[in-house]
Amino acid sequence: MSAPPEPAPPELAQRVLREQVAAVHANAPAAYLADLLTAQALGIGLFVATRRWQVLLWMALHLALTLRRAYRRYQRSPDAADHPEYWARFNARNVLLRSCVWGLAPWLCIPAGQHSVLWAMLIVMMMGWCAGGALSLAVLKRNIPRFIVPSMASLTAALAWRGDSTHLFLAVGCLLYMGVIITFALQHHRLLTASLTMRFEKEALAEQLSRQIAATQRASEEKTRFLAAASHDLRQPLHAIALFGAVLEKELQGREEERHAARLMDAVGALGQSLDTLLDISRLDAGVVAPQIQPVALNPLFLALNHVFAAQAADRDLQLRLRATPCWVLSDPQLLQRLLSNLVDNALKYTPRGGVVVAARARGQQVWIDVRDTGIGITGEHLGRIFEEFYQVGNPGRDRAQGLGIGLSIVQRLTRLLAHPLQVRSLPGRGSRFRLVLTAVSAPGAIAPAAPPDNTLPLPRRVLVIDDETAIRQAVSDLLQAHGVAVEAVAGEAEAEAVLAQSAAQAAQGASPVEALLCDVRLADGADGLAAAQRLRARFGLPVLLITGETAPRRLQQVHDSGLRVLFKPVAGDALLQALAALPR
Ligand code: ADP
């Protein structure tokens, strides 16, 4: 036996009732018309056969009742959606009256004596009327007894009243019929109510889900904004430290204190790397990373990974094997290397004993790259969450040496960007396997090696720096001057314009002009450094190098769209010099 259904909560029950009333209302015109035609046809048939005035009385009663209902429906019009209970009662009263009028038919329309044909006519018509009406009215439970019982009980009683065995037999038949119809109508009602309740429950769930999705999206946007603000504020001083450090390193060259400067620069580098990881996430979210999909040979990529990670593996007494492979795949070589680096880095980090194997296998049109380790593995409960940002297993103290919990979220974004599905399997205590699925390509003909970066380009002789922070202006000036570059450093666009106008005038008299503009993207009081740089570039025709600590996706997108060369803070001294030298002049 199935358990009785749980009662619906009041709000849900009200919605269900509203829907049921609406269904009854929608059916009402057709139902009343059918009822009227059936009654009048029956009345005409019986009148022709009996010529009794009582038949006409019954027909008139039925007609009056139908007209009364139509009139009251027309007269009272509180909105059915707002007053479902009122309309359910209205409907139940009408149903009851109708059934009572039908219940009068056997008493008024059939004369005393044996009239089998008339009885047969009446019984067939009333049973058909009852079956059709019961199903259409069963939407509302209270209608079922009101509709069936008065008419059918009256028919049964009228038959039994005749007293002879034939009529008694027919009376029992009518009684049984009434029972069966009531049972069917109740079942039908339960089914309709259950499906309505289910529909509303599903709608409520969908609504709740969409609210939750919106809340998650808002939280994610807030997180991005927070990260962008925090990252920007940290990058500013770090950028100055990196540049001062570079000056210090140059000044201390060949002296004993040089090693202190080197250590300082290592620490700055590590901090910069952490910030870069956050920046990577922002850039991937901003959609400014455009993959350059091309045929990529995996073997050189594996060799490069080996080169990067061999020392780390050896330090920790782990075996690192990157199996030689002839496979080529369709991917972006740099992004693929970044993706695999994160996987290998994790594999080494979470493997206390044994080792890590990276192997590629051709599988039809695909190539699988497996990064397998014999490490601590990941339990099922964590496996679904390791790709979330800042999610770490077993680092409650958030020890930075154990990572930021962001490596795999970068991996996930990269796999989506490159359309390389990633599968993970892991057994706690036995190790993990991360499998990347790529599209195979056949090896193209010999490819010309890429030209090595040119480190021998000369620096511009005179540079204009726009940055609202005094410390940074000072640090950049010191660094550039230490490399023989003349520097003018200003805080905003107006001063920059004045310097450039003066420089143009001096150049006309043979002095060396400003050859490059180094501009911060965010200036004092919210001034837009990007727009300022674009205006100055358009007016004075200067090459521009932007420097930014911005990580907000929208801003990054604007910087990217400007097409200008950009460096992200903190910028190492060497990188700044190289980028300046590489500016088109
Ligand atoms: P983290 O900086 O902590 O390494 P990740 O996003 O790279 O951040 O990884 C998230 C978590 O997934 C890690 O804290 C670690 O518990 C788990 N994890 C990732 N790779 C492995 C692996 N190869 N073996 C075991 N656990 C792993």
389 Cα nearest atom in ligand 1: 6
- pLDDT value of position 451: 45
Neighbours of 250 (CB within 10 A): 15
| Residue 280 alpha carbon to ligand 1 centre in Å | 18
- Residue 363: what are its φ and ψ, rounded to 5°? -135, 90
From 136, 139, 137, 130, select the one nearest 191 (Cα to Cα). 139
The fourth-level CATH superfamily of domain 294-441 is Histidine kinase-like ATPase, C-terminal domain (3.30.565.10)
Nearest alpha carbon to residue 7 among 250, 190, 176, 173: 190
**pLDDT for residue 453:** 47
- From residue 447, alpha-carbon distances to 295, 325, 372, 443, 444 in Å are 11, 18, 31, 10, 8
State how far the Cα of 98 lies from the Cα of 276, in Å rounded to an integer. Answer: 80
Count the neighbouring beta carbons within 10 Å of the beta carbon of residue 92. 19
Q: Do domains 236-288+458-585 and 294-441 have the same CATH topology?
A: no
Cα 412 off chain centre by = 15
- pLDDT computed for residue 452 by the predictor: 45
User: What is the whole-number distance in angstroms between the Cα of residue 386 and the centre of ligand 1?
Assistant: 7
The number of the ligand 1 atom at minimal distance from the alpha carbon of 375 is 24
N-to-C CA span, the chain: 87
**Domain range summary for the chain, segments of one domain joined by +:** 10-162, 236-288+458-585, 294-441
Q: What confidence score (pLDDT) does residue 466 get? A: 94
Residue 567: what pLDDT?
87
Q: What pLDDT shows up at residue 61? A: 95
Which atom of ligand 1 is least distant from the CA of 406? 6
Residue closest by Cα to atom 20 of ligand 1: 346
- Ligand 1: list residues with CB < 6 Å: 346-347, 349-350, 373, 375-378, 386, 391-393, 395, 402-409, 432
Give average pLDDT by consecutive 10-residue segment, the chain, 585 residues: 55 83 84 91 93 94 90 68 82 92 93 84 92 86 93 95 91 95 93 90 92 87 72 80 86 84 80 74 74 90 90 93 92 90 94 95 94 94 85 63 77 92 94 95 60 66 92 89 91 92 85 90 88 93 89 79 86 87 85
Q: Please state whether the peptide bond connecting residue 300 to the residue before it is cis, i.e. omega within 30 degrees of 0.
A: no
Instruction: Please report, for residues 284, 287, 430, the alpha-carbon distance to residue 416 in angstroms, rounded to integers and kept in the order given.
Output: 10, 12, 28
Both tokens of 33, joined, read: 């018309």
Distance from residue 407's CA to the centre of ligand 1 (Å): 8
- Kindly give the distance from the C-alpha atom of residue 394 to the centroid of ligand 1, in angstroms, as a whole number: 10
Ligand 1 mean position to 393 CA, how many Å?
7
Mutate to test the pocket of ligand 1, among 373, 392, 413 (most ligand atoms within 8 A of CB): 392
pLDDT for 243 equals 87
The answer to whether the Cα torsion of 175, 135, 197, 83 is positive or negative is: negative
Residue to mutate, 284, 408, 424, ligand 1, most ligand atoms under 8 Å from C-beta = 408
Distance 344 CA to ligand 1 centre (A): 11
Q: What is the pLDDT of residue 400?
A: 53
- CA–centroid distance, 347 to ligand 1, in Å, is 8
For atom 22 of ligand 1, which residue has the closest CA? 347
What was the pLDDT predicted at 231? 72
Q: Residue 371: its pLDDT value, please? A: 97
Global pTM exceeds 0.75: no
257-to-200, 249, 436 alpha-carbon distances in Å: 75, 9, 47
Atom of ligand 1 nearest to the CA of 395: 14
Question: For residue 210, what are the CA distances in angstroms to 213, 222, 223, 378, 472?
Answer: 5, 18, 20, 31, 47
Pick the CATH number of 236-288+458-585 from 3.40.50.2300, 1.10.1740.10, 1.10.10.10, 1.20.20.10: 3.40.50.2300
